[in-house]
């Protein structure tokens, strides 16, 4: 009888240990949140040489995460190049993406969005001495650069300048290098992104924005398709950020030095 009791006790202890381990594993996965951002976009999403992360998207994502119950130290930042954003969400590699992610009908077939939290406009970054590019049609005999998978690249191909020689890279930094060396005539993407590049100290005086509003780009936070519960929570966090003044503070902090004014905070429209 004593042997049976001991065996039962051991079995019970093992069961409790397994249960505790399982519970610990589940709670551990809830202790952190993985957020996709860009690593190479000054003013929006930038990984600095010392390993820190900064920019408007970073501040928005940090605020949202805090409203979801995560402190800044609980966030794991993951690089999210434009062509990979849908894949990162569908595979579950990230919990959300705040990476200059324009809300489009095509993308909404694959992911869900919260927001928008910023409205940008497609523009051109050109060299400071460039005088021949004053309209989108001027690009048809030019070498143009953008990032593959971006709405800017699609707009150029399909509407703005279908005869332009378009080079597509995986990051805007490579386009900027081509513009600096003269191998491309213009870099096209959203004005918020371009303003950040133009304001960098190492490029001071080299580039300017063409000042063309070629499209409206509504930046949203990308979520796994159909996750309406998370969508509602993120929308509530964005609304609070706007109402308590934190949104405007982030705008002034990251866009003010570049002289870029994105206007008023947009209305949250992406709701289930």
pTM of the model: 0.80
Q: Within a domain: residue 48?
A: yes
From the list 234, 223, 269, 231, the residue with the least C-alpha distance to 111 is 223
If asked whether residues 233 and 112 sit together in one domain, one would say: yes
If asked whether residues 127 and 152 sit together in one domain, one would say: yes
From the list 112, 102, 98, 105, the residue with the least C-alpha distance to 217 is 102
Number of domains in the chain: 2
If asked whether residues 110 and 126 sit together in one domain, one would say: no
φ, ψ dihedrals at 241, nearest 5°:
-60, -40
If asked whether residues 99 and 228 sit together in one domain, one would say: yes
Over residues 163-179, the mean pLDDT reads 88
Q: Within a domain: residue 272?
A: no
Q: Within a domain: residue 61?
A: yes
Q: Within a domain: residue 14?
A: no
If asked whether residues 111 and 133 sit together in one domain, one would say: no
> What is the pLDDT, as a whole number, of residue 199?
82
If asked whether residues 177 and 253 sit together in one domain, one would say: no
Averaged pLDDT score across all residues of the chain: 87
User: CB atoms < 10 A from the CB of 242, how many?
Assistant: 17
Q: Within a domain: residue 271?
A: no
Q: Within a domain: residue 26?
A: no
If asked whether residues 191 and 76 sit together in one domain, one would say: no
> What is the pLDDT, as a whole number, of residue 24?
38
> What is the pLDDT, as a whole number, of residue 262?
92
Q: How far apart are CA 170 and CA 149, in angstroms?
A: 9
Q: Within a domain: residue 251?
A: yes
Over residues 59-73, the mean pLDDT reads 98
SS3 82: helix
Over residues 246-268, the mean pLDDT reads 93
Q: Within a domain: residue 20?
A: no
If asked whether residues 158 and 45 sit together in one domain, one would say: no
Report how far apart, in Å, the C-alpha atoms of 86 and of each of 92, 96, 107, 255 are: 10, 10, 8, 27
> What is the pLDDT, as a whole number, of residue 34?
98
In order, the DSSP letters of 161-206 are -TTSEEEEESSHHHHHHHHHHTS-SEEEEEHHHHHHHHT-GGGTTT
Domain that holds residue 200: 121-209
Would you place residue 92 in the very low, low, confident or very high pLDDT band (cuts 50, 70, 90)?
Answer: very high
* Residue labelled with tokens 């429209």: 269
φ, ψ dihedrals at 9, nearest 5°:
-65, -40
* Residues 132, 138, 140, 141, Cα dihedral to 10°: -20
Over residues 206-232, the mean pLDDT reads 94
List the Cα angle 240/244/248 in 5-degree steps.
100
Would you place residue 3 in the very low, low, confident or very high pLDDT band (cuts 50, 70, 90)?
Answer: very low
The CATH number that applies at residue 243 is 3.40.190.10
If asked whether residues 184 and 133 sit together in one domain, one would say: yes
If asked whether residues 95 and 165 sit together in one domain, one would say: no
If asked whether residues 156 and 178 sit together in one domain, one would say: yes
Task: Give the lowest-confidence range in 16-25, 131-140, 226-235.
Answer: 16-25
The H or E element spanning position 249 is helix 246-255
If asked whether residues 163 and 239 sit together in one domain, one would say: no
């Amino acid at each position: 009888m004593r042997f049976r009791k001991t065996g039962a006790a051991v079995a019970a202890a093992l069961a409790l240990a397994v249960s505790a381990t399982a519970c610990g594993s589940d709670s551990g996965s809830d202790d952190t949140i993985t957020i996709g951002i860009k690593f190479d976009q000054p003013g929006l999403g930038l990984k600095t040489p010392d390993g820190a992360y900064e920019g408007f998207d970073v501040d928005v994502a940090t605020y949202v995460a805090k409203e979801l119950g995560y402190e800044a130290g609980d966030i794991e930042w993951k690089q999210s190049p434009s062509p990979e954003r849908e894949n990162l969400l569908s595979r579950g590699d990230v919990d959300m993406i705040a990476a200059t992610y324009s809300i489009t009908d095509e993308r909404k077939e694959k992911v869900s969005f919260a927001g928008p939290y910023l409205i940008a406009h497609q523009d051109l970054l050109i060299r400071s001495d460039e005088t021949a590019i004053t309209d989108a049609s001027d690009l048809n005999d030019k070498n143009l650069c953008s990032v593959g998978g971006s709405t800017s690249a699609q707009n150029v191909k399909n509407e703005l300048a279908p005869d332009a020689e378009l080079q597509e890279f995986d990051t805007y930094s490579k386009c900027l290098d081509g513009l600096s060396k003269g191998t491309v005539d213009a870099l096209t993407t959203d004005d918020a992104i371009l303003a950040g590049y133009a304001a960098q100290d190492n490029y001071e005086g080299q580039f300017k924005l063409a000042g063309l509003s070629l499209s409206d780009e509504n930046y949203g936070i990308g979520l796994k398709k159909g996750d309406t519960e998370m969508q509602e929570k993120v929308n509530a966090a964005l609304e609070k950020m706007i109402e308590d003044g934190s949104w405007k503070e982030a705008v002034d902090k990251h866009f003010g030095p570049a002289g870029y004014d994105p206007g008023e905070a947009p209305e949250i429209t992406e709701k289930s």
